[in-house]
Chain A
Amino acid sequence: MKTNDVILQTVTTIVSFIIILFSIQLFFAGHYTPGGGFIGGLMSSGALVLLLLAFDIKTVNTILPIDYRLLTAIGLLLAVGTGAGALLFDVPFLTHAYDYFHLPLLGETSLHTAVIFDTGVYFVVIGITMTIIQTIGVSE
């Protein structure tokens, strides 16, 4: 008998959206409040895992056609690249820069290169978690 998990799938489509929004909120809050790239990335991959539970690997791959190994590499490149950007200005590796900008809608905002580093961490965490889970899920 084929099980009918219509409730699980309906709830998942809504809930995973909320989880991803929350993880992005955590990610951007990291500079001033608890949060940051690591927990944000874990929570985003939590949402993706929920999708995997409710549907199957094939469906999730058609919704989100992402090669998670490449995502890991892109994340590393962002993180190390931000650090190495300091080399261009002849200051020590990993020296960050920030400034205040006037953005439309958001008003006076502080932009910091540490966010790019954190984006790298975010991608690496998602990439690694999803690679592990998908690899275990596929292998017989």
Chain B
Amino acid sequence: MTNLLILPILIPLFTAIILMFISKYVKVQRGVSSLSTLATIAASLVLINTISNDGIQTINLGSWVAPFGITLVSDMLSALLVTTTSIITLVVLLYSFKSIGADRERFYYYPVVQFLLVGVNGAFTTGDIFNLFVFFEVMLMSSYVLLVLGGTKAQLREGIKYILVNVISSALFVIAVAYLYSVVGTLNMADISRKIADLNQPGILTAIAIMFLLVFGLKGAIFPLYFWLPGSYYAPPTPVLALFGALLTKVGIYSILRTYTLFFYHDTGYTHEILSMLAILTIVLGCIGAIAYWDVKKIIIYNIIIAVGVILFGVSTMNPEALEGAIYYLVHDMIIKAALFLLVGVMIAITGTADLKKMGGLIKEYPWLGWTFLVAAFSLAGIPPLSGFIGKLLILRGSFAAEAYVGAGVILASSLVVLYSVVKIFLNGIWGTPKEYNGISKGHARYLWMTSAILVVLAVCYGFGAEAVRPLFSQAAEVLVNPNLYIDAVLKE
């Protein structure tokens, strides 16, 4: 079927539109949105299967041939990310049923989540640089709404900052695309790559590469451009935070990964050097933040920044093994960050506070929650055989092979800090002397825990089944190492 790879974009889009008609019927909305997200997952799994059998899938929208129309390209990397995104969205939806509150649900919460899914899936799938911008905007607009929906004071304050930063970075994105277009004269990503190869990447293209790094770095929160993230992510309610933490920055990382392996791979001495330095600094800063705070949400938020650094360092080495590790770690990080935010959300819902010093002894009343959190924490830190291990191992092996010892050392040290920061939550919040809490009831907490445990189970399976899914990841990395595969698939030569 020619249109298979557009289904993960089209199904949520249709759902969002239909949900707009029935915005007052909360129960129907819940049913429709979870069923359609299931359908999205099914479609993306079929897509993975098709790609692993027949190679990269492309579709020329409107039947206009490749460099002239918009092409959607789904290689294994895109398909894996689309699948992960859809699964996380489903779990977050299930979690929202009992945590987001009827007020928000009646004011277009579910349609906006579906629009967010459209934006993220579209950004992962598109093969056109301007279309990438449009899908970025679809995603960002939905995230603006999700961030301010509810209208508490903190949400409005952080909403203004978040919108301001993203409007500026979107303007920079348009300018960068304009520069690129004036140099190469095309917008199709495969065609851009071919034109850049013909020109052998002159100086102006290196400048454009840095500009793209600036743009996507603002979206993906790398070192000097991460400043908006801790505040903005602190404001929204838990399910929204889980969506943001798991998906939004990852789209920025994906875009850096794509542009730096598909476009700007000729003169890596300058661009990739800068990328690797920024990645190391990002890890260091994230570590400082993760240690410094006694606030459970803040700790996990700074862990996002660490993971961004780790993945981008893997990208910057341009080593096949490190690239594979980066993809592996990217998927792992999406799942585990969503799981951790949801679990931390359960803790906050029970205790009524995000301050670690006011928590304690949750293990007595809620043992299942405590042990799930511990598994998730170990998985985040990369303890074998859990899911964070293999990705980091591959990144490390790749960076040793590329003789990037400083970065490898920082990554190893950062794992300890990550472990310390999450075990701090475990020891202070879950262990220790029990306190009086007047949050949600036990049954309510159990429901929230069960939905978040789905992701933890998934992360554990992902770690144990690393060998089984390895061919998929090798196939994904192969395209990054050899851009001609991508170009030939799109331009059909």
Contact = CB atoms under 8 A, between A and B. Distances in A.
Interface stretch (A1-9, A41-49, A52-60, A93-101): A93-101
A69 B23 CA distance: 10
Contacts of B18: 77
A70 B24 CA distance: 12
Interface string B1-35: 11100100010011001101101000000000000
B61 interface: yes
Contact of A73 (B21, B61, B63): B21
Contact of B63 (A76, A77, A80, A91): A91
A72 interface: yes
B23 to A, nearest CB: 8
B418 interface: no
A92 B14 contact: no
A69 B20 contact: yes
B1 A77 contact: no
B17 A91 contact: no
Interface in B15-57: 17-18, 20-21, 23
Nearest to A78: B17
Contact of A92 (B2, B13, B21, B23): B2
A93 B131 CA distance: 15
Contact of B20 (A72, A90, A92): A72
Contacts of B21: 70, 73
Interface in B329-374: none
Interface in A13-27: none
A72 B108 CA distance: 13
A93 B60 CA distance: 8
Given A70-B21, A76-B20, A84-B14, A92 B61 contact: yes
A92 B17 contact: no
A94 B6 CA distance: 11
A91 B3 CA distance: 7
A132 interface: no
B17 A80 contact: yes
Contacts of B61: 92-95
Contacts of B62: 92-96
B256 interface: no
A86 interface: yes
B215 to A, nearest CB: 26
Nearest to B9: A93
B81 interface: no
B311 interface: no
Nearest to A90: B2
A87 interface: yes
Contacts of A86: 3
Candidate in A90, A91, A94 with the most chain B CB atoms within 10 angstroms: A94
B10 A92 contact: no
Contact of B17 (A73, A87, A90, A96): A73
Nearest to B58: A92
Candidate in A77, A84, A93, A95 with the most chain B CB atoms within 10 angstroms: A93
A95 B10 CA distance: 15
B59 interface: yes
B52 to A, nearest CB: 22
Given A69-B20, A95-B61, 20 more contacts: A69-B23, A70-B20, A73-B21, A77-B17, A80-B13, A84-B14, A87-B3, A90-B2, A90-B3, A91-B63, A92-B3, A92-B60, A92-B63, A93-B3, A93-B10, A93-B59, A93-B62, A94-B62, A95-B63, A96-B62
13 contacts: A72-B20, A76-B20, A80-B10, A80-B17, A92-B59, A92-B60, A93-B10, A93-B61, A94-B61, A94-B62, A95-B61, A95-B62, A95-B63
Interface of B: 1-3, 6, 10, 13-14, 17-18, 20-21, 23, 59-63
